[in-house]
Chain A
Amino acid sequence: MNDTQRPLIQLSEVTKVFLTDEVETHALGGVHLEVGEGEYVSISGPSGCGKSTLLSILGLLDTPTGGRYELNGTPVESLSAADRAHVRNREIGFIFQAFNLIGDLSVFENVELPLTYRDGIGKAERKQRVVEALERVGMAHRLRHYPAQLSGGQQQRVAVARALVGKPSILLADEPTGNLDSRNGEAVMALLDELHRGGATICMVTHDPRYAEFAERKIHLFDGRVVDEETLNRLRAEEEQRIEEQIASRKPAAADSAP
């Protein structure tokens, strides 16, 4: 984030602990993160590093165990469920790996959905905004189709339109290409890039380094902490070394004397 950008997301010392049968799992261990307005950030890291937990907290689907979270200058870490739903609806657009379109609703109705949870928007305005959003992702011609009638790439475009329709402050994308082939994956990444260039703030979780390159800033998570690239590489190397040693120690001694 550069100095001119207004901070949209500010996390300080955010922790998340899960309690399961008296076992404590520290998913996030004091995360500091700032995302500026208009910034495109990727979050990557190995499986179980806390990417999804971090994204859930950023998206107000979950609450942190400790620390502070300010969204658009407002502290949101201890909002009620109803207030969090309100903020989610207005400030955040979600793009999921599995698209998560509702099968019983048409493309139009799927995109319209966030607006139906918002008071004071008339039918005409809703329609206009849905069509605009679909035009932005190139899916306006499939208004009446149902998700099952679309390809994976098309479904994800519709999902992006749904994320955009409420004009949120930030788009949170969770492995947006995870369920797509490379051609469709690249098309979706190009779409996000285009949105970013148009001023959208995007925070994307991905495990694919190729797609992480699309972001202007890359954040790495390791064991629930944000680390820089150098530290990440070092930690990875240490872990690989440890695993190799464990494997070597398990090899039978007789193998050395084999003919």
Chain B
Amino acid sequence: MHILHDFKFAKRQIAKRPGFAAAVILTLALGIGANSAIFSMINGLMLKPLPYPEGEQLVAVYNTYPKMGLPNAGVSVPDYIDRRDRTEVFQSTAMYTWNGMNLTGEGNPERLLALRTTPSLFEVLRIKPMLGRTLGEEHAEIGNDRAVVLSHGLWQAAFGAREGIVGEDIRLNGEPYEVVGVMPAGFVFPNQNVQLWMPFAFTPQQMSDEERGREFSNMIARLKPGASTEQAQQQVDRIHEINRERAPAGVAEFWANSGFGGRVVNYREELIGELRGPLWLLQVAVAFVLLIACANVANLMLARVTARRRELSVRKAMGAASRRIVAQILCESGLLALLGGFAGLLVAWYGLELLTLAGLGSTNELFDIRLDGTVFAFALGIAMTTGVLFGVVPALAAVRGNTAEVLKEGGRSASSGRGAQLTRSTLVVAQVAIAAMLLVGSGLLIRSFMELQGTDAGFNPEGVLTAGLSLPDNPYDDPAAMRDFHDRLVARLEAIPGVVAAGMTNVAPFEGGNSQSSYSIEGYEPGPGENSPHGMVRRADSGYFEAMEIPVLSGRAFTPEDGPDNPVAVIDEILARRYFPDENPIGRRIGFDDEENPEWFTVVGVVGTVKHSGLDEQVSKETYYLPIRNAAVGSPTLVLRTAMPPAGLIDPLREAVREIDPQLPLTRIRTMEEMIDVSLQTRRAPMLLLMVFAGVALALSAIGIYGVLAYSVSQRTGELGVRMALGARIGDILQLVMRQGGRLVAIGLALGLVAALALTGMISSQLYGVSRFDPFVLIGVVVFLGLIAALACLIPAWRAACVNPIEALRYE
């Protein structure tokens, strides 16, 4: 019953001081809200099970070439079959690859992303269809593979949710495919962009050993109950050992030199990827913000308890035991924390939207990121913990007071003792230290980001528009047809007013794709233990280098005449330096495909190195360019340079493509600057958020410093009056108070910087081009925090200087 009574009293106390309550609740709401928002990300990404039954049993299996700087490569069909048939840890396995399909016959042609997969995928994922059935083993045979499973979204959008669609044919890339089933709403694999699942039927050629190295697919598997990733890894390693033993000498040597093998990773871990580090970093950062918020609230509560010393002393005089006083204060702090927790959930709700907008988290709908029961419990838990944290200091202060003294003074001299002052000062020091740590972290990330933005990508992204095309096999798998299409399209694009240059490539930088291949150099023999040349291969045309403004360092770029009759290649600076260090590579030949009888291309030019995947990429792998007119490229990317805003070219571009082939939809229309911007998202989001959290921490610390000094000034009014009576000038009083605040700030800063230096190792993986001991950042933090702290000190100092000595002496 006491507790009920205490809560009632606490409620009255809070209602009596709405300003105080609002300050506490708002401070806590910020702290708890930020924590809950980040936690909901962590919960959705790392803690909640995947939306597949026993999803933790799912693993991704890659080929890997660690000695060639290629940790994750795709999987070839024979590798997949080996792992499917010769391991015991996998309950089921599946292999899949992406395909762009044009849906026709239902209005305008629509570009769809399809997953070509072994029918076993649905068994691996253990998901049943909503209508019809999933792909069956019979569909894994060539000639019997014209079947398709629709996503729920596509079924609704393109087929009006018609149940009769099952069993009917739809036209994909101009060919009929039978709809065998529709997946339930919410089913996502591997991401929500995939709207179709089609059979991946292996040809005898694909299953032969000759296909090893054609690694364009992905593999997923389900572990048997009780089996571990490590066991799977061991078994996959064993298969590779056996394969190496029976492989031809040249192949075995390449595998040994490249470190070729398989890599088994938990599927969820693989999906989370680079997000794990930033998320935990942010969770630690917001925990620090919450600690600062707690310190502020504890200070507010301490001041409040000091003001209530007389009331508490009367209670003690009436026989209240210390534990009752403590319970009463804790009730008040608990109630405030609870209200702060609820307000925090509101902040978290908006915060989560902001986090997503900032680009943190995953856009993959596979993950269920939202405020759910777990997040609610988390918010409630931290609210209660903070309630105790910021309540216990004032509660202890409340029971320590000298009852008789307070009652004798009638509460007039409600000044707190040295102990309380010390506690308050310690809290401020801690706040400043934490704020300094967060500022250092945020400063380092900002510096990194600035360095990164200033990094040369190897081309000029300004004024470049890119767009993807998906060319159906018929007629574009014919190189002649492809060449004709290319020449007509590029000529049409160059005629668009405002277009400075137009080109085509198989993979544009920052597009997300890659293409790598081994090659040979005429007259070059790899030394013992050395890998045969392996590099990134790009198909391009004459306009590509001009449109991208990739510098030609020597020789020339492609010309419109370069094609099958004139097999030439352009290499980048890295390749030139690596294999032609002391000679001119122009005129030398590089070859592909068949080691015994390769197709030779004469090097006609050397161009600058281009970053393909990110501005922070340390490009170590060479790139060679071959004419796109030589090959059939299924999904080329168009690149246009303009002197106008690139977005203005979108409509003329669509029109130009429509003129050449009305059945071709344009996809992925983006400016190159947007693509680079997207690539920076994993760095920008943590930087922005840490900046916000550091800002909040700084603001809370400034409020804390202000609060402590303002309180101290109010307590020292008499002393200030005496000093003024003795001749202290305004400057002397200002100096006195500023010095008091300055001392706390200096100690906090010193501790914060030491801690920051120790802890910045946590973010070293996020840094680029800046040392974690960067003096610019450290000095910047000292100056910036010092200035803010000085401002926070100035207001109470000025108030102290304006004290009327007569009033002050009367107060004394």
Contacts and interface: CB of A to CB of B under 8 A. Distances in A.
Interface string A74-104: 0000000110011011100010101010110
Given A61-B805, A85-B724, A96-B809, A102 B719 contact: yes
A89 B727 contact: yes
Contacts of A118: 727
A89 B726 contact: yes
Contacts of A56: 806
B718 A100 contact: yes
A166 B727 contact: yes
Contact of A90 (B718, B721, B727): B727
Nearest to B722: A100
Given A62-B806, A100-B718, A162 B727 contact: no
A113 interface: yes
B6 interface: no
Interface string B421-452: 00000000000000000000000000000000
Contacts of A162: 726
Contacts of A45: none
A92 to B, nearest CB: 8
A24 to B, nearest CB: 18
Residue with the greatest number of chain A CB neighbours at <10 A, chosen from B724, B725, B726 = B726
A146 to B, nearest CB: 11
Contacts of A29: none
Contacts of A102: 719, 722-723
A118 B727 CA distance: 8
B723 A113 contact: yes
A118 B729 CA distance: 10
Contacts of B732: 117
A85 B564 CA distance: 96
Contacts of B728: 85, 89, 117
B178 interface: no
Interface in A49-85: 56, 59, 61-62, 81-82, 85
Interface class of chain B by DSSP:
helix
B812 interface: yes
Contacts of A61: 724-725, 805-806, 809
Contacts, number: 56
B757 interface: no
Contact of A117 (B718, B721, B727, B812): B727
A89 B726 CA distance: 5
A94 B726 contact: yes
Given A100-B722, A102-B719, A113-B723, A85 B729 contact: yes
Contact of A114 (B726, B729, B812): B726
Nearest to B718: A100
Contacts of B805: 61
B729 A94 contact: no
A100 B812 contact: yes
Contacts of A89: 726-728
A86 B809 contact: no
Contact of B730 (A59, A82, A96, A113): A82
A162 B723 CA distance: 11
Interface string B633-657: 0000000000000000000000000
Nearest to A172: B725
Nearest to B719: A102
Nearest to A100: B722
A88 B726 contact: yes
Nearest to A94: B725
A95 to B, nearest CB: 10
Interface in B716-745: 718-719, 721-730, 732
Given A100-B718, A102-B722, A88 B806 contact: no
Interface in A165-224: 166
A143 B283 CA distance: 54
A65 to B, nearest CB: 14
Given A61-B806, A62-B806, A100-B809, A86 B729 contact: yes
Contacts of A117: 723, 726-729, 732
Given A88-B724, A96-B812, 15 more contacts: A61-B724, A81-B730, A82-B730, A85-B728, A88-B725, A88-B727, A89-B726, A98-B812, A100-B722, A100-B725, A102-B723, A103-B719, A117-B727, A117-B729, A162-B726
26 contacts: A61-B724, A61-B725, A61-B805, A62-B806, A81-B730, A82-B729, A82-B730, A85-B727, A85-B728, A85-B729, A85-B730, A88-B727, A89-B726, A89-B727, A94-B726, A96-B722, A96-B725, A96-B812, A100-B725, A100-B812, A102-B722, A102-B723, A113-B726, A117-B726, A117-B729, A166-B727
Interface of A: 56, 59, 61-62, 81-82, 85-86, 88-90, 94, 96, 98, 100, 102-103, 113-114, 117-118, 162, 166
10 cross-chain pairs, A with B, having the tightest CB-CB distances, nearest first: A89-B727, A100-B722, A114-B726, A85-B729, A117-B727, A88-B727, A61-B805, A94-B725, A102-B719, A117-B728
